[in-house]
Amino acid sequence: MTNIPTHHHPVRLRRSVLSVPASNARALEKSRTLACDAIIFDLEDSVLPEKKADARAALIAHFAAAGRPTGQEWVIRINPFSGEHGLLDLEAVLACAPDAVLLPKVCGPRDILDAGDWLAERGADDGPRLWAMIETAASILNISAIAEVGRTLGGRLDCFVVGLNDLRSETGIADLEGRPYLIPLLMQVVVAARASGLDVLDSVYNDFANAEAFVRECEQGRQMGFDGKMLIHPAQIAGANDAFGISESEAAAALVIVSAFEAPENAGKGVINIRGRMVERLHADQALRLLAKADLIAQKETQE
Ligand code: COA
Ligand code: MG
């Protein structure tokens, strides 16, 4: 068999990914103190056109100042590559050297290939990874072709972020608790991401004062298979870290599976019986990834 989907991307913690408007000095300063796994510094929707230039300058200064916590990914969301701000944003990206660039309003594979080519032409081969906002109706229709870009460009594309504010406004799909009409779309995004070994983050939840409904939506996202959630407010970080984290019982169960397959009596077996449950070798691979993530969480907690 060829082309078995492999998880060629390393395990990274992306439970809580906070959006910080680059035009908001107070929020930029505050972001230094927050325990989110990643930060998306936004130059797009949250920044007015007349503030874009100042926002770029503020980001360059912010990235140049010391004090980036180890292990926390720093991502810059640029404006559409085709518009008047996109290229200026990419120049700022070269000056900042973030871990990744988040491309907004992606419609098809070409949007990602274009950004990858632009970076490659400037010699940024080891430069930023690419993340893609999945927030247009076209991106849902083209989701498998977009995900396949994750197998090219040296694996530069490694994460999808669903954007329901744009998707709902373009499509008219209702904003309801439990997201009934969105579930089929969200599941396509998760499956396409996995087919190319990409991470995938659930959309923001706007009503940041409603902590209970937020936690319910995090739990739903976890059950759908998302790795984490894009956030808009610091009050959402703890809930997302918890919902997309790994409980002690999950880690213990994973360890049982890994040790069982390592036991000499199970060498050469593809499937075994663990306390009345069928467990296959694929579960051991899944368990290893889960334990790697649990290790990253433990490392992070000792740093805090
Ligand atoms: N990142 C960092 N800090 C933030 C923050 C964020 N996204 N949102 C709020 N804060 C800070 C505030 O600056 C304030 O800090 P302070 O204690 O130093 O004054 C504190 O958290 C409490 O904020 P609060 O007063 O509850 O909210 P607010 O009225 O200042 O801001 C929003 C509310 C929605 C405007 C703000 O949260 C925001 O801009 N979120 C991100 C929006 C965004 O990125 N959109 C694009 C992606 S959808
Ligand atoms: Mg958007």
Identify the pLDDT of residue 3: 37
Which ligand has an atom closest to residue 162 CA? 2
Say if CB 141 and CB 108 are below 8 A apart: no
Q: Among 19, 30, 131, 210, which residue has the most ligand 1 atoms within 8 Å of its CB, making it the best to mutate? A: 30
Identify the pLDDT of residue 180: 98
Taking 80 as the threshold, does the pLDDT of residue 197 lie above it? yes
CB atoms within 10 A of CB 99: 17
**Is residue 18 in contact with ligand 1, taking CB distance under 6 Å?**
yes
Grouping H, G, I as helix, E, B as strand and the rest as coil, residue 76 is: strand
DSSP characters over 10-64 = PP---SEEEEEETT-HHHHHHHTT---SEEEEESSTTS-GGGHHHHHHHHHHHHH
Q: What is the C-alpha to C-alpha distance for residues 73 and 288, in angstroms, rounded to an integer?
A: 22
CB atoms within 10 A of CB 273: 11
Identify the pLDDT of residue 140: 98
Q: What is the C-alpha to C-alpha distance for residues 4 and 42, in angstroms, rounded to an integer?
A: 35
Taking 90 as the threshold, does the pLDDT of residue 4 lie above it? no
**Is residue 233 in contact with ligand 1, taking CB distance under 6 Å?**
yes
Instruction: List the residue whose alpha carbon is closest to atom 39 of ligand 1.
Output: 21
* pLDDT tens profile 91-104: 999 999 999 999 99
Q: What is the C-alpha to C-alpha distance for residues 291 and 262, in angstroms, rounded to an integer?
A: 15
Q: For tokens 């077996």, name the residue.
A: 269
Q: How far is CA 76 from the centre of its chain?
A: 13
**Is residue 42 in contact with ligand 1, taking CB distance under 6 Å?**
yes
With the C-alpha atoms ordered 71, 42, 80, 196, is the resulting torsion angle positive or negative? positive
Say if CB 297 and CB 13 are below 8 A apart: yes
The fraction of the chain above a pLDDT of 70, given in percent, is 97
What is the band of 154 on the pLDDT scale with cuts at 50, 70, 90?
A: confident
* pLDDT tens profile 18-75: 999 999 999 999 999 999 999 999 999 999 999 999 999 999 999 999 778 888 999 9
Given the DSSP bridges, would you call strands 129-134 and 157-162 parallel, antiparallel or unpaired?
parallel
Which ligand has an atom closest to residue 28 CA? 1
> What is the 3-state composition of the chain as percent helix, strand, coil, each rounded to the nearest 5?
50, 15, 35
Q: What are the residues whose beta carbons fall under 8 Å from the beta carbon of 40, sequence distance 6 or more? A: 17, 18, 19, 20, 75, 76, 77, 102, 161, 230
pTM given for the model = 0.95
Centroid of ligand 1 to alpha carbon of 48 (angstroms): 16
Averaged pLDDT score across all residues of the chain = 94
Q: What is the C-alpha to C-alpha distance for residues 203 and 215, in angstroms, rounded to an integer?
A: 13
What is the band of 8 on the pLDDT scale with cuts at 50, 70, 90?
A: low
Identify the pLDDT of residue 68: 83
Instruction: List the residue whose alpha carbon is closest to atom 25 of ligand 1.
Output: 233
Ligand 1 atom closest to the Cα of residue 31 is 2
**Is residue 199 in contact with ligand 1, taking CB distance under 6 Å?**
no
Taking 80 as the threshold, does the pLDDT of residue 9 lie above it? no
* pLDDT tens profile 282-297: 999 999 999 999 999 9
Identify the pLDDT of residue 126: 78
From the CA atom positions of the chain, what is the Rg in Å? 20
Identify the pLDDT of residue 106: 98
**Is residue 46 in contact with ligand 1, taking CB distance under 6 Å?**
yes
* pLDDT tens profile 210-238: 999 999 999 999 999 999 999 999 999 99
Instruction: List the residue whose alpha carbon is closest to atom 40 of ligand 1.
Output: 232
Q: What is the C-alpha to C-alpha distance for residues 158 and 128, in angstroms, rounded to an integer?
A: 11
Identify the pLDDT of residue 222: 98
